[in-house]
Amino acid sequence: MTGWLATLLIFLPVAGALVVWLVPMPRGAAGSFALLVALVEVGFWINALIRFDFERQGATPNFDQQHTWFSDLNVSYHVGFYAFSFWLAGLTVIVAAASIAYAFWAGRERPRAYFGLMLFLTGATVGVFASQDMLLFYAFFEAMLIPLYVLIGVWGGPGRMGATIKFVIYTMAGSLLMLAAVIAYGLSQDTFDLIDASQSSSGWIFLGFAVAFAVKAPIFPLHGWLPDAYRESPPEVAAMLSGVVSKAAVYGFFRICLAKFPEPFDDYRTLILTLASVGLVYGSVLAFRAQDLRGVIAYSSLAQMALITIGLFAENLAGLSGAVLQAVNHGLVSATLFLLAGAIERRAATGDLDRLGGLARGRPALATVLIATGVIALAVPGSSAFAGEFLILAGIFPWGWGWAVVGALAIVLAAMYMLRVISAVLHDRRATTADESVLDLRPAELAIVVPLLALLLALSAWPAAISDHMVENSGDIPALVELNE
């Protein structure tokens, strides 16, 4: 049974998607069926969490399963979860359930196509985190793009055409370089299996992978697709995109760049840390200057992903565990914020910060949820984000205090932009277009957002749940980490 859990987690949503597409069902049924599948998926993940062996030593991941795909080049369907990828998969299923619930509540045109695509996206993303074969990884990595392309292109806002084209062009430029890198690396190792492949010192192949992940994350200066894609998507798609899909880059850096290319990883560290630091400050400043709600969240995502990258490139216990913890935090925070932004835009018919304001008065639930999420996002001491950022800064400190100073500066900037959003949406009443008739969050919306918030609070109380349960079972990583301790 446990051998099948990874496969089950990948293909349950895909099967759900096929059912939604192929079986005729009334309009309302598609959404509720999709939500049911997403919740069952969460249930399976929890089941897997209970069975997960965090102490497992050696290279084999949990729920390891392998079948030959084509044997002449040693490509196989090989899936399994390491601890860090298992947390990211958990983030995926939870955010997906919340997003699907939100879409169901908000209602979407052509529901069968829509919910099928959302489920398919969920399955493909879990697949990315589970793959232990490079070609399979690449296939899932690309397969995420197909539903996203349609979800933004068909159900997006007025500027969706430009947004999708930019998104696809940036992403594919990166991924095709990665395809070349996959081929070069796989053929030189004579296997595409990530566990069997040994380490390589080729800087070019490393760069092929790194650029693809840097676009997906995104890392400055490859972030050109980000603002449009996040602004034009439906809110729940933006939640998936920033909360979950960007984490594929974290996984890639971790599982491939770090584990398989330790030498180039070392060589390019300064370059990538510099880019990440620039992106961190730049993203934070843009978030502070952005004129609309989604712009703030989008640019803060840019900054947060840069911070996570800094943690990864610290390549020590503190930095890596901080990066994974922060990846989960940021996923939950940005998903919650995007769903709240969607709720606010529905009410005020605008996301423009100049035309919002005063929503706190008479709307206590909205105010409470937004402030709580915002406070976690700005990493107030005691929050899970504080724990993550602290670990990242502690991890990067040995590489030079300058990096840590930039990171600390970003925390200050985060406080500035989050407080600005909170005040612009909830308090500042100068030019608000939202009148008294605007409703507070409805029970259904609360049922979607509060669980996410509750998870964040739980992580705040016990961040070690993730940061202490990831390095033992992570393939080649422990050996590398010990080198740097």
Partner 1 sequence: MIDAPSVDWFALSPELAMLAAAGVALLGAVIVPRDWIRAFAATACALGFAGGLVAAAILFWKSGTPSLEVSDAISRDRLAALAQMIVAGSGLLAVGISYSSRRRVEHVGEYYALLATCGGGMAFLVSAGNLMTLFLGLEWFSICLYVLCAMDLDSVPSLEAGLKYLIVGSFGSGVLLFGSALVYGATGELGFAAIADATRSAGLDDDPLLLVGLAMLIAGLGFKASAAPFHQWTPDVYEGAPTPVTAFMSAATKAVALVLTLRVLTVAFPELDELWTVALAVLACASLAIGNLAALVQRRVKRLLAYSSISHAGFMLIAIAAANELGGKALLYYLIPYCAASLGAFAVVAARERELNAPVTLDNLAGLGWERPLLGVAMWSFMLSFAGFPLTGGFVGKFYVFAAAYERGWSWLVIFGVAATFVSLYYYLAVIRAMYMRPASELTLAPAGASPPREILLSASVFVAMVVNVGAFFAVQPLIDLAKDAAQSLPL
Instruction: Report the interface residues with partner 1, using CB under 8 A.
Output: 68-73, 75, 110, 135, 138-140, 142-143, 145-146, 149-150, 153-154, 160-161, 164-165, 168-169, 172-173, 176-177, 179-180, 183-184, 186-187
Supply the minimum distance, in Å, between the C-beta of residue 178 and partner 1. 10
Q: What is the C-alpha separation between 38 and 257, in angstroms, rounded?
A: 31
Supply the minimum distance, in Å, between the C-beta of residue 142 and partner 1. 5
Supply the minimum distance, in Å, between the C-beta of residue 194 and partner 1. 17
Q: What is the C-alpha separation between 274 and 252, in angstroms, rounded?
A: 20
Q: Determine contact, residues 155/108, Cβ cutoff 8 Å.
A: yes
Indicate the SS3 state at residue 254.
helix
Supply the minimum distance, in Å, between the C-beta of residue 207 and partner 1. 12
Helix (H) or strand (E) run with residue 193 in it = none
Supply the minimum distance, in Å, between the C-beta of residue 154 and partner 1. 6
Nearer to partner 1, 180 or 271 (CB): 180
Cα angle for residues 14, 18, 22 (degrees, 5° grid)? 175
Nearer to partner 1, 52 or 206 (CB): 206
In a 10 Å sphere around its CB, with 0-12 CB exposed, 13-18 middle and 19+ buried, how is residue 2 labelled? middle
DSSP 440-462: PPPHHHHHHHHHHHHHHHHHHH-
Nearer to partner 1, 21 or 44 (CB): 21
Supply the minimum distance, in Å, between the C-beta of residue 413 and partner 1. 35
Supply the minimum distance, in Å, between the C-beta of residue 350 and partner 1. 21
Helix (H) or strand (E) run with residue 69 in it = strand 62-70
Nearer to partner 1, 11 or 44 (CB): 11
Nearer to partner 1, 83 or 143 (CB): 143
Q: Determine contact, residues 384/329, Cβ cutoff 8 Å.
A: yes
Q: What is the C-alpha separation between 128 and 139, in angstroms, rounded?
A: 8
Please provide residue 133's backbone torsions phi and psi, each rounded to the nearest 5 degrees. Answer: -130, 135
Nearer to partner 1, 160 or 247 (CB): 160
Nearest C-alpha neighbor of 91 from the set 337, 392, 330: 330
Nearer to partner 1, 170 or 299 (CB): 170
* Residue 277 exposure: Cα atoms within 13 Å on the Cβ side: 20
62 beta partners: 81
Q: What is the C-alpha separation between 92 and 123, in angstroms, rounded?
A: 9
Nearer to partner 1, 218 or 279 (CB): 218
Nearer to partner 1, 163 or 471 (CB): 163
Q: Determine contact, residues 86/97, Cβ cutoff 8 Å.
A: no
Q: Give residue 221's identity as a one-letter amino acid code.
A: P
Nearer to partner 1, 224 or 398 (CB): 224
Report DSSP state, residue 72.
Answer: T
Helix (H) or strand (E) run with residue 359 in it = none
Please report how the helices 160-189 and 203-216 are oriented relative to each other, as an axis angle in degrees rounded to 10: 150
Supply the minimum distance, in Å, between the C-beta of residue 130 and partner 1. 15
Q: What is the C-alpha separation between 249 and 229, in angstroms, rounded?
A: 17
Supply the minimum distance, in Å, between the C-beta of residue 435 and partner 1. 31
Nearest C-alpha neighbor of 182 from the set 196, 190, 192, 172: 192
Nearer to partner 1, 17 or 325 (CB): 17
Residues sharing a CB contact under 8 Å with residue 163, sequence separation 6 or more, in sequence order? 152, 156, 157, 225, 228, 229, 231, 232, 233
Residues sharing a CB contact under 8 Å with residue 176, sequence separation 6 or more, in sequence order? none
Supply the minimum distance, in Å, between the C-beta of residue 173 and partner 1. 6
Indicate the SS3 state at residue 80.
strand
Supply the minimum distance, in Å, between the C-beta of residue 204 and partner 1. 9
In a 10 Å sphere around its CB, with 0-12 CB exposed, 13-18 middle and 19+ buried, how is residue 27 labelled? exposed
Nearer to partner 1, 176 or 483 (CB): 176
Nearer to partner 1, 179 or 419 (CB): 179
Supply the minimum distance, in Å, between the C-beta of residue 181 and partner 1. 10
Supply the minimum distance, in Å, between the C-beta of residue 323 and partner 1. 28
Q: Give residue 41's identity as a one-letter amino acid code.
A: E
